[in-house]
Amino acid sequence: MKPNKVYFKEEQTFKQSPRMWILITAVFASIAPIAYGLYQQLVLGKPWGDEPMSDKNLIYTFVFIFILMAGLVIFFSRMKLQVRVDSEGIRYRFPFYIIKERIISREQINRYEIRTYRPLIEYGGWGYKTGIHRKLKGLNKSGTAMTIMGKTGLQLYLEDGQKILIGTQRPEAFRRAMDKMMAQKMRNE
């Protein structure tokens, strides 16, 4: 069996996104006050706040918040969207959400377009967004989205009526790869 020809490959991570800096800033803003309280109460010997906690409870609270915030940073920094277009179709993974690589075969694709989308309005933000359009019939017809950053994506319209949006930072390369892959579909029909 001959290997599939790869036309396009892209990997996006939240580390590249400006939202990662917002998250890190929020983490420091969450940890800084309690770190100051620890310093004031344990090092300077002054009770922190109007109704100070015991030293032990203050340490436990700090450790809990630190672990929670560090976990969020690790979670988002390891999240990535992996997309590949080859001669069979579009292969994608979105670790933590889609562990095993999935494929949308070229036979499943009715049509496609590169489009600008509004992440907050159409999907409720970036990330792996699915299901709401099914729960709120008629209110959200945007379909499923897999996005990391930006406002440009490949909109797929599948034969079964599903809509899938895959975010991209390289829209023209993605479109050219789709054209090549779909041209093979035409030749095989």
Other CB atoms closer than 10 Å to residue 103's CB: what's the count?
A: 13
Half-sphere exposure of 76 (CA within 13 A, CB side): 22
Considering the domain architecture, whether residues 184 and 94 belong to the same structural domain is answered as: yes
Whether residue 143 is contained in a domain is answered as yes
pLDDT of residue 133: 47
Q: Is the pLDDT of residue 2 over 70?
A: no
Considering the domain architecture, whether residues 32 and 110 belong to the same structural domain is answered as: no
Residue 156 tokens, joined: 């797929």
The C-alpha atoms of residue 186 and residue 107 are separated, in whole angstroms, by 10
The region that residue 134 occupies, defined by phi over 0 for left and psi between -120 and 50 for alpha, beta otherwise, is alpha
CA 139 to chain centre: 23
Region 4-29: mean pLDDT is 85
pLDDT tens digits for range 24-49? 888 899 899 999 999 999 999 999 88
Cα–Cα separations (whole angstroms), residue 14 to 114, 128, 175: 22, 12, 23
Q: Is the pLDDT of residue 134 over 50?
A: no
Residue 149 tokens, joined: 């950053």
Sign of CA dihedral 93, 97, 103, 104: negative
Whether residue 1 is contained in a domain is answered as no
pLDDT tens digits for range 106-125? 899 999 999 999 888 888 88
Domain, as residue range, for 130: 6-11+84-188
Least confident of 80-84, 118-122, 175-179: 118-122
Considering the domain architecture, whether residues 91 and 64 belong to the same structural domain is answered as: no
3-class SS letters over 72-140: HHHHHHHCEEEEEEECCEEEEEECCCEEEEEEEEHHHEEEEEEEECCHHHHHCCCEEECCHHHHCCCCC
Considering the domain architecture, whether residues 122 and 181 belong to the same structural domain is answered as: yes
pLDDT of residue 156: 95
pLDDT higher for 141 or 66? 66
Considering the domain architecture, whether residues 72 and 101 belong to the same structural domain is answered as: no
